Amino acid sequence: MMPNDSVNSPYTASFLVLLYNKEIQLSNTLNQLLDSELSFAHCQLTIWNNGPKSLVNQDVSEFEKLGFSVSIVETLENSSLAKVYNQFVDSIRSDKYVILDDDSILNDGYLTDVLAAKNDEVCIPIICMNGEVKGPRINKKIVMEPTSFTNRARINAIGSGTVLGSKVAELMKQQEGTIFDEKFFFYGVDTTFFLRLNRLSQEAPFRVINNFSHSLSRYEKESDKVREFRKKERSCTTALRLRHYKPMLNGFLLYLKHVLSSVTKVLTGKESKIDFKEFTLSYFTGKHYRARD
């Protein structure tokens, strides 16, 4: 169960750190929080273990010394990220919400910006890897320094480290039903989150804030099994976005374009970027493969 102790006492900020196949003490993100010199009084921290095994060490006393109110949640079945994020936000009253993965190298510049964020805005961090800025992109251009804009700009960013003000969260729930689209399980959750922000009927203020370092999986060497999983996920995600986030005719034409490109590559001996079967099933059913099981 998620914590309910904040119902009568909203937090200044609530952090979610999502673990997978990792103990608390091995998470870069959590270790960076422990190394911070800031005070986290009136802040909440949810450590969410998404499997596959229960945490051996659940000692959170060091985080409580920093001021955090701490909760541990375990969903060992590797739950949908969209559902995890929605449950986190829905169950805690806070001025703002921050979702982090387990391998980010945070710093006090970024964390200071998080704590200073307002409840009516969205803040997106600059993401670096090996000293190189990888995002976010605003109107297709990489943003190198903190800046301000509105949700009318075209945003392309990873969700990790984004600060969502509670007032914007409520606007999203009123318009979309949920903040994160639960038709997506792993890939596409971040992308559709920003697409939903872009189409809010009410204009919302956005800021790009100080950077932190992040491990981006697509830049790392991976096993064949992991590459196949990612190919399946990307195929499913692309099809669902065409089905649910494009006008019907436009989406179908783009579907045909992807299919033609895939067939052409196979016929010329090249590797297709999509799993044709998964791409087609996802497009015509409108469902993720885990939702079809």
Residue range 53-69, pLDDT digits in tens: 999 999 999 999 999 99
Cα–Cα distance for residue pair 172/195, rounded to 1 Å: 11
| Multiple choice CATH, 13-218, 3.40.190.150, 3.40.50.10860, 3.90.550.10, 3.40.50.620 | 3.90.550.10
- pTM of the shown model: 0.90
Least confident range of 5-19, 57-71, 238-252: 5-19
> What's the confidence (pLDDT) of residue 246?
95
Q: Return the SS3 of 146.
A: coil
- Average of pLDDT values for 211-221? 67
**Residue 143 · residue 197 · CB < 8 Å:** no
Q: State how far Cα 126 lies from the chain centre.
A: 14
For 104-139, what is each residue's pLDDT tens digit?
999 999 999 999 999 999 999 999 988 889 899 999
Cα–Cα distance for residue pair 163/114, rounded to 1 Å: 7
Note the helical H segments in 128-223.
166-176, 189-198
- Average of pLDDT values for 226-235? 90
Q: Select from 103, 102, 104, 136 the least CA-distant residue to 122.
A: 136
For 175-190, what is each residue's pLDDT tens digit?
999 999 999 999 999 9
Residues of the chain with CATH 3.90.550.10: 13-218
For 74-85, what is each residue's pLDDT tens digit?
999 989 999 999
What type of residue sits at position 120?
D
Q: Select from 208, 45, 17, 214 the least CA-distant residue to 122.
A: 208
For 259-278, what is each residue's pLDDT tens digit?
999 888 888 888 888 898 99
DSSP strand pairing (205-213 vs 122-129):
parallel
